[in-house]
Amino acid sequence: MTQPPTSQRHALAEPARTQAFIGGAWRATASTFEVRDPWDRSLVARVADVGEAEAREAADHAVTAFATWSRTSAWEKSAILRRWFDAILAHEGELAELMAREMGKPVTEARGEVKYAAGFVEYYAEEAKRIHGETIPSQFAHKRLHTNLKPVGPVYAITPWNFPAAMVTRKVAPALAAGCTVILKPAEATPLNALRLVDLWQQAGGPPGTFQVLPCLDPVPVSRVLINDARIRKLTFTGSTEVGMRLYGQAATTMKRLSLELGGHAPFIVCADADIDAAVAQVAASKFRNAGQTCVCANRIYVHSDVHDAFVARFLLAVEGLRVGDPLDPATQIGPLVNGDALDKVVSHVDDARAGGAKVLVGGATSGGSFYAPTVLTGVRGGMKILEEETFGPVAPILTFTDEAEVLRAANNVPVGLAAYVWTRDLGRAYRMSEALDYGIVGINDGVPATPQAPFGGVKNSGLGREGGHWGLHEFLDVQYVSTVIG
Ligand code: SIN
């Protein structure tokens, strides 16, 4: 893998939008911050760096716009969302290239993410027309009981860098469909997709103040203003458990509705009766997607001792065949990690495992810049960092097991519970194991289960609430109960 001269990157188009988007207008700020390309650290853009004053202003606009947007007909909201969906798909190539440059996601995979992101907008454009309350039977002839569903109010959304488009639309589309207005703070590493997405929302006819984007290098002042503002009724966050717990506490003082999509440590269990070729292909897809930088990717691969050697032999071939390289090359499968801190964490996990006696079968080294070679480890044991913290990198630790109850105990023995995977051809085992796993998402013979119409979220320290499907919409709706005496 060699890196091209930086001049090739300089020939790329300037990102279309780098200012903040407040109250329906683009806004320059006194200071800016840099977005750098993880491939070669070249400058991609200087982006507006908003602070407390802009956050206060955005809150005022969100409150004003809510008065109208919350009363806009479902059909009108749906039509704007549908036009936004069309616009996102029409800009798939541009958004994917931006994503490859701002966070190093290989451009072919990034195109997949743009389609996934658009899928949330399409789904919620349809669901906007299906928000309705219920009638409830009364024991009294003179009473009628019913519920209304009402938008919770203006929302503050904080999105992560690992899915710069899909995590934006997974939060913003249901909020807008519900009739909420949204202030979004994108991750400081990846504000460019978010800014282009709000640009397309405006072009689709999204009214001023309905969706605003506040890029900033230091999220603390902006978050302080918006979390302390009692008019902002909901906080939705995707990121680390540590930050999520802090936000949970801060949001208590204004009693906000909360959605927290936090970290995971996914077990991937390959039973003795599994289709080994399919399991190998899917564990590679799950583990090495986004260079292992997803909350749901396999973190611990438990392989039954009867099939361990066959699995490992075939898995090694798959991993050795992965193409590492320039994220802008359509053939690349593994790009650089997002930054040096991400690389340091991966290095420390592999070094710790090696020191504890794990064997590195392939990889196990950096390969220039923030690249880490796709790595397979065996001989991994309890107490190693890699089994206790999310690695967020292209490292596959393999463990063995012999007994179903034993592997379920090991799989559940972590404080998080986002996604788990089981490979088996036995239907009874599939049901038994999925029911016994303390996880919000279970893939049975499926390494990539997330899709816009299904619930995504975890239990325990993996967070609160669900995104996607009708569950994701109801996170932005309050139930109002009305009891009427008709005389
Ligand atoms: C995540 O890792 O945060 C999202 C993964 C997905 O939506 O598939």
d(CA 275, CA 290): 25
User: Which ligand 1 atom sits nearest the alpha carbon of residue 297?
Assistant: 2
Alpha helices in 185-290 (DSSP H): 191-203, 219-228, 241-251, 276-288
pLDDT of 4 > 90? The answer is no
CATH superfamily entry for domain 20-262+462-482:
Aldehyde Dehydrogenase; Chain A, domain 1 (3.40.605.10)
**Among the listed residues 312, 315, 306, 318, the one whose alpha carbon sits nearest the alpha carbon of residue 273:** 306
The number of the ligand 1 atom at minimal distance from the alpha carbon of 238 is: 3
Query: Which regions of the chain carry the CATH code 3.40.605.10?
Result: 20-262+462-482
Catalytic: which of 295, 297, 390, 467?
295
DSSP letter at 456 equals B
pLDDT at 5 over 80: no
Q: Decide: 297 in ligand 1 pocket, CB within 6 A.
A: no
**To the nearest whole number, what is the mean pLDDT of the chain?**
96
Q: Give the strand pairing for 459-460 and 416-417.
A: antiparallel
**Hey, CA dihedral for 139, 141, 142, 143, is it positive or negative?**
positive
| Interval between CA 56 and ligand 1 midpoint (Å) | 31
pTM for this predicted structure: 0.97
Determine whether the shortest distance from the Cβ of 450 to ligand 1 is under 6 A.
yes
| Number of the ligand 1 atom closest to the C-alpha atom of 290 | 2
Say what percent of the chain tops pLDDT 90. Answer: 96
Compute, in angstroms, the gap from residue 379 CA to the centroid of ligand 1.
28
For residue 411, CA distances in Å to 262, 353, 402, 407 come to 18, 19, 14, 6
Q: Is 90 exceeded by the pLDDT of residue 368?
A: no
The strand pair at 257-261 and 359-362 is best described as unpaired
52 is catalytic: no
Atom 8 (ligand 1): residue with closest C-alpha? Answer: 450
In CATH terms, 266-451 corresponds, of 3.10.580.10, 3.30.70.20, 3.40.309.10, 3.30.470.20, to 3.40.309.10
Rg (CA), the chain: 23
**Is 295 a known active-site residue?**
yes
Q: 262: Cβ below 6 Å to ligand 1?
A: no
Which of 295, 466, 467 should be mutated for ligand 1, with most atoms under 8 A from CB? 295
Ligand 1 lined by 295 (C-beta under 6 Å): yes
Q: Considering only CA atoms, which residue is closest to atom 6 of ligand 1?
A: 450
Average pLDDT of the residues in 70-86: 98
Instruction: Identify the band that residue 15 occupies on the pLDDT scale cut at 50, 70 and 90.
Output: very high
CA atoms within 13 A on the CB side of 96: 21
How many CA atoms lie within 13 Å of 333's alpha carbon, on the beta-carbon side? 15
**Where are the domain boundaries for CATH 3.40.309.10 in the chain?**
266-451
The residue-averaged pLDDT of 422-432 equals 98
Query: Residues, the chain, total?
Result: 487
